[in-house]
Amino acid sequence: MREHLERVAVVLDEVMGETAATGVMTPWQHVDWLRLHADLLDRLGAAAGAGSAVSGRGELVRDRAERMADRLNRVPSVEAGPADGRPVDDLLEHRTVSGDLHGFRGDPPPER
């Protein structure tokens, strides 16, 4: 069952990412979309159990939604980006949209 839930999570990431990439949503709709994505991943992670590839991915997407909401509210960020200079949000969106999910499976955080 765990493998099936992990496959469902990959498809969910692809569909949610493709929809977000269409650009038809307002910024606040995008924040809500990311929050929905995070909630669905949390449910899949809970069903798959601790230590699965799905567990913890919802939190990463939720963090992105909250950073985006902070930017929309003009709250200054206290986070610096990764060493390569790309914003954290760009890396997460790229991984989500491209289906490159290895970053969600326990990779160490980028060096700052």
Q: What is the pLDDT of residues 15-32, one digit of tens each?
A: 999 998 898 999 999 999
In our burial notation (b when 16+ CB lie closer than 10 A, e otherwise), range 51-65 reads ebbbbbbbebbbbbb
Quickly list DSSP for 79-90. Answer: ----TTS--HHH
What predicted TM-score, i.e. pTM, was given to this entire model?
Answer: 0.65
So what's the pLDDT on residue 13?
93
How is residue 36 written in tokens? Answer: 């929905």
Which residue's structure tokens are 């469902």? Answer: 8
**pLDDT over 70 at 46, yes or no:** yes
So what's the pLDDT on residue 104?
43
So what's the pLDDT on residue 103?
44
So what's the pLDDT on residue 101?
45
**pLDDT over 50 at 106, yes or no:** no
